[in-house]
Structure 1
Amino acid sequence: MFCENLKKIYILNQSLQWFMVGLILPILTVFQVEKGLDLFEVGIVMGVYSTSIILLELPTGALADTIGRKKVFIISVVLMFISFFGMLISQEFWHYIISFAFLGASRSLSSGTIDAWFIDEFEKKYPDGNLQETLAMVGIFVTLSLGGASLLGGYIPMSSLSIIISHIEGFDIYSLNFMVALFLALCQMLLTSVLIKEERIVEHQEKGILSGLMAFPSLIATSVHYGLKNHLVFLLILASVFWSFSLSGVEMLWQPKAKEVAGAEFQTSILGILGSGYFFAGALGSYISIPLCRLFKNDYAFVLFMMRLFMGTVLVIMAISTTQVGFAIAYWTFFLINGVKESPHATIYNEAIPSEKRSTMLSFESFVMQIGGLAGSICLGYLANNFSIEYAWMFSGALITSSSLIYILVRKQRQLIVEQPSG
């Protein structure tokens, strides 16, 4: 019963968090253009968002381990509220710079907070539970939440209420998306305060945020050292870097590729169908991961090895697709595989890191993934611009396929760890 209640609270928290994001994603670029920004300025704004995440990812992870994960998560929701409100009322380029900097800070603060709290509570009070299956089930709900919110986010600007609001000075048809998100952010603050019970004693918590900030240098140095010196953790982080590098190229280039494949038949509704299918395919992948891992007797590293090989192959098929149906099937299959790999990787990683460093180490992985994604956007964008999208994706496919070998090393490392006590 405890496990079910804990899981429901975690699902509600994460689904609501990503539902807010999903409401904004479909209109993130067009609303800025509607407000007068050109695409180069939009690129700068998104760069500020990514940079703020990279700069703050590690310090904010350490903060969660020092002053408490619930407290830091609520602060992140407050910053998200400020960000959404800023976007709603912004009229100048620099307004968006500030708003997206706050959004990046919010993303950094939320990373490694409630998820770390859940894993600690799950392992402490339900030691015989299957973490991989639990994370997979949570992933299904979260991904469905994102998909449903994205569909709703695309519909809201077409509603009669949005049209009415757009006639008010300073607002447009996209304003209602942000108003709904602001209301949900208030709900998230309230629900988190009431439902999340953090019983663990956190070092420095009684001394407040200042002591947490003073603890940053030693915590970060220890975590970076742990991430580089622990062979299993290092291999898992390396696998994440290759994944984020390649994924950034897919997320950045799939829309122009879809338009290229459709040719004269292209309609914007195609992007909506493909985009929502992305999330639903990911949810299905999370579900499939449960029986798949059971089939291979929870040999997570071997499952991840197979998924990497499959993912690289599918990306090459996407690159050479010339029909809309073929591209759609390959695109959704790619993200279905991505959904399969999430919970096995997270399970191995969380088993490899100690509880007292969990938030910081989760943030450390997210930090290097952000760097990998930024590098991928630049490198693959260059290849696509100077050669072709097909060339960029074939390069990524080869990289993903090659990186599958990392999980063979992960498998061997896990076996060594298991054998150590008896040796």
Structure 2
Amino acid sequence: MTGPLDIRTARNRYVRVCVLFWLPLGLTIAPLILLFTERGMAMPAIAGFFAAHSLTAAVLELPTGGLSDVVGRRAVLAAAGLLNLTALTLLGLGTSGWLLGLGMALMGAGRALSSGPAEAWYVDTVHTHSGPGAELRIGLARGSSATSAALAAGTLLGGTLPWLLAFGPDLGARLSEATSGLVLPLSTPLLLGAAVEIAFVLYVLTALRESPRPRAALRQVLRGIPLTVVGGLRLGGRDALVRRVILSAGAAGSALAAIELLTPGRAAALTGASESGAVLFAALACAGFVCSGIGSHLAPLTARLAGSGERAVMVSLGASASGLLLLAATTASTGVGSMVVAVIGYGLVYFGLGAAGPSENDILHRRVASSGRATALSVQSLALQLTGALTGLIISVLPSGPLPWLLGAAVLLAGALLWIHRSAQPSPPAPTATPQPHAVTSSASTAASDPHQQHVDQ
């Protein structure tokens, strides 16, 4: 180590890590389900694959967050990249159900490992260079915008690359024949993503410098993880602002579950065919990521105009809830005017969530010490995933129409209302002095009344 990185360098490296990590996952959004179908998988099997992903991510979310706080951010991020590299290779080339299920489970493990370390590294680096009072929101906003841009670009590329190969001069047939059916046109975005994962791992290992952590035996490391996890869970009970951030993440998960589960069917019904509906959904997903990125970019301005980060979260989540209400109001109509209103509502959902995220995480990082930062982010991500899964189960039994959309809007509006009451005391910065090993501390006492990522988990 030659000294701490300056803020600009740390910010740029954090943005590059966000792009390199999320671009491969964006490449899978459009072709993945179609690839499973092409491999002969029935819908129950496909649902099982996604369940394997979600359950693996949920089970490992907190332990892997604790692992990052114990052994370091760089090692855990590199491990996440290697897991995603293996997963994308299996998904791109696998032809049997157990291989595809294993690939989805490994991708879930990589998702859990990646939840928090990059952002925790950025905040740690900025605090080391400029102290606990350093500005965080701009860097967090740029990282969130970069994530949205990478997902948008990946979605477009992942949707168009198989189409170009399939409709080119026998390119898809030649590719499949040359690889004995292992590589299909729909496989190419996943294999391209695997190549990007190699670049991600190399960049993480060479660019993310961090202070060496005390050497410890494997037994000590494993013993420290549960203590860190327990501390992360207790943090939400001790600190009202952290509790609001976690609950807001759950509300965002509910909204995302509604929009991601309901939009594909609505797009297919609008176009009259599942294939054209998939293309429309890919275009909408890309537009949603762009809106999320714009919202994240404008998060610092939103906080200034609103008067505080807390008010900015309330306004942003309220705007997102209004987008779901617009989608609910247009379910019964297929006219051009209703379509325009629905598209506006769709973009507003993502714009609001994107604008809320940096302010929420800025609040979180000022309440949590470095020793528990990744764990706190994992708790936030876990709330988003579990609430989203529960909302998805409820939506699956609700009748079609506005009611499922209204459920997501109601939960998100409740998340916005949490921020009406302000804390009794301003939040002091989280301490940067080295705390006791594996401890998670809060920098302020609980206030009178009682969070999103992105994670949003696409």
- TM-score normalised by structure 2 residue count: 0.85
* Equivalent position of 2:176 in the other structure: 166
Q: Following superposition of structure 1 onto structure 2, how do residues 270-349 of structure 1 map, counting pairs within 5 Å?
A: 270-297=280-307, 299-321=308-330, 322=333, 323-349=338-364
Q: Please, which of 355, 358, 383 is the counterpart of residue 370 of structure 2? A: 355
Question: 1:210 deviation in Å?
Answer: 4.2
1:274 Cα deviation (Å)? 1.2
Deviation readout 1:341-372 (Å, 9 max, x if unpaired): 11111111111111111111111221222111
**Higher fraction of helix:** 1
8 Å contact from structure 1 (residues 261, 324) kept in 2: no
Q: Select which of 169, 191, 197 maps to 1:179.
A: 191
User: 1:11–1:141: 8 Å Cα contact kept in structure 2?
Assistant: yes
Letter in 1 for 2:379: F
Q: Which shifted more, 272-281 or 304-313?
A: 304-313
Aligned partner of 1:62: which letter? Answer: G
Conservation of the 8 A alpha-carbon contact between 1:307 and 1:341: yes
User: Given residue 139 of structure 1, which amino acid in structure 2 is its aligned partner?
Assistant: S
Aligned runs of 1:73-84 on 2, under 5 Å? 73-84=77-88
Question: Cα deviation per residue 1:198-230 (whole Å; 9 max; x = unaligned)?
Answer: 11x435xx1254432222222222221222222
Q: Deviations over 1:10-54 (max 9, x none)?
A: 111110110011111111111011101011110011001000011
Worse overlay, 219-228 or 56-65: 219-228
Q: CA RMSD in A?
A: 2.3
Structure 1 CA distance for aligned equivalents of residues 9 and 237 of structure 2: 36
Tell whether the 8 Å contact from 2:367 to 2:428 is kept in structure 1 after alignment: no
TM-score, normalised on structure 1? Answer: 0.91
Q: Which amino acid aligns with 1:246?
A: A
User: Shift in Å at residue 243 of structure 1?
Assistant: 2.0
Distance in 2, Cα, partners of 1:214 & 1:415: 35
Take 2:274 and 2:67, find their aligned partners in 1: how far apart are those partners?
A: 51
Structure 1: stretches of 5+ with no match in the other structure: none
Q: Figure out how many residues of one structure are paired with residues of the other and give that number.
A: 413
Aligned positions of 1:86-101 closer than 5 A: 86-101=90-105
Matches within 5 A, 1:42-53: 42-53=46-57
CA distance, structure 2, for counterparts of residue 219 and residue 209 of structure 1? 15
Q: How does 1:63-212 map to 2 (within 5 A)?
A: 63-127=67-131, 129-160=134-165, 162-167=172-177, 168-169=179-180, 170-199=182-211, 201-203=212-214, 206-212=215-221
Secondary structure of the residue that 1:164 maps to in structure 2?
A: helix
What letter corresponds to residue 109 of structure 1 in structure 2? L
TM-superposed CA distance for 1:271, in Å, is 2.0
| Letter of the structure 1 residue corresponding to residue 328 of structure 2 | A
Query: 2:147 is aligned with what amino acid?
Result: V
Amino acid at match of 1:68: G
Higher alpha-carbon deviation: 58-67 or 160-169: 160-169
Give the letter aligned to residue 394 of structure 1: L
Q: C-alpha displacement at 1:261, in angstroms?
A: 4.5
Identity, in percent, stands at 21
Which residue type is aligned with residue 267 of structure 1? S
Corresponding residue number in structure 2 for 1:244: 253
Is the 8 Å Cα contact of residues 120 and 374 (structure 2) preserved in structure 1? yes
